[in-house]
Amino acid sequence: MQTYAVFIGLSAERGALILGFSNGASFAGRVILGLISDYFSNAKVLLVCAWFTAFAVLVLWSISHSFGVLLLMGLTYGFFIGGYISLVPVAVAQSFGAKQMASTMGLMFTAAGLAMFGGAPLAGFLLDVTQPNTSYLPVILASGLAVTLGALCVSIWAYLDWKVKRAQLVKDK
């Protein structure tokens, strides 16, 4: 975020400030969205987190050409990714059971790790191929597509989880 802030003409200090606020919003999201999930299903809150994270990356980042909009993007992303991070283990435990939690989380973190491992080199490559008129748009689109794909996966999981729970309710009647 700091590198992008400098790219759009902000100082490195303002970029660091935005990153700090984004991290603070992540902390707030973990707590607030965790509390909200006590009153609504974890799957629903996780779904909201996934789609707002995708919105922040794909839409807000693509229009972030000033301090205010980039700050809004950082706060939105931070808040909802914080909720996402804190709710995934709970949702996995509820859907797959405590016995399956370690293997399921291991698979999820492996997939996420592969994406993180390849994300930075891909971003560097995309920035390099736009030389001499460097553009972050390909990076934003690739990142946005990845996060949107993740939100779509969460949507499918939430739907299937709802279907299983609904079938169980009908069976129990």
Question: How many residues can be counted in the chain?
Answer: 173
| Structure token digits, residue 2 | 């700091």
What's the rounded Cα separation, in Å, for the pair 127 and 104?
35
Give the pLDDT confidence score for residue 26 in this predicted structure.
Answer: 98
Give the amino acid at 58: L
Q: Mean pLDDT across the stretch 144-152? A: 94
| Structure token digits, residue 53 | 């994270």
* H helices present in 97-136, as ranges: 98-129
- CATH code: domain 2-172 is 1.20.1250.20
pLDDT confidence tier of residue 9, bands split at 50, 70 and 90: very high
126: three-class secondary structure by DSSP:
helix
| Structure token digits, residue 149 | 């794909």
| Structure token digits, residue 89 | 């283990």
Query: Could you tell me if 67 and 35 are in contact, meaning their C-beta atoms sit under 8 angstroms apart?
Result: no
Q: Mean pLDDT across the stretch 32-50? A: 93
In the predicted model, is pLDDT for residue 108 greater than 90? no
pLDDT confidence tier of residue 29, bands split at 50, 70 and 90: very high
In the predicted model, is pLDDT for residue 98 greater than 90? no
pLDDT confidence tier of residue 5, bands split at 50, 70 and 90: very high
In the predicted model, is pLDDT for residue 87 greater than 80? yes
Q: Mean pLDDT across the stretch 45-71? A: 97
Give the pLDDT confidence score for residue 156 in this predicted structure.
Answer: 94
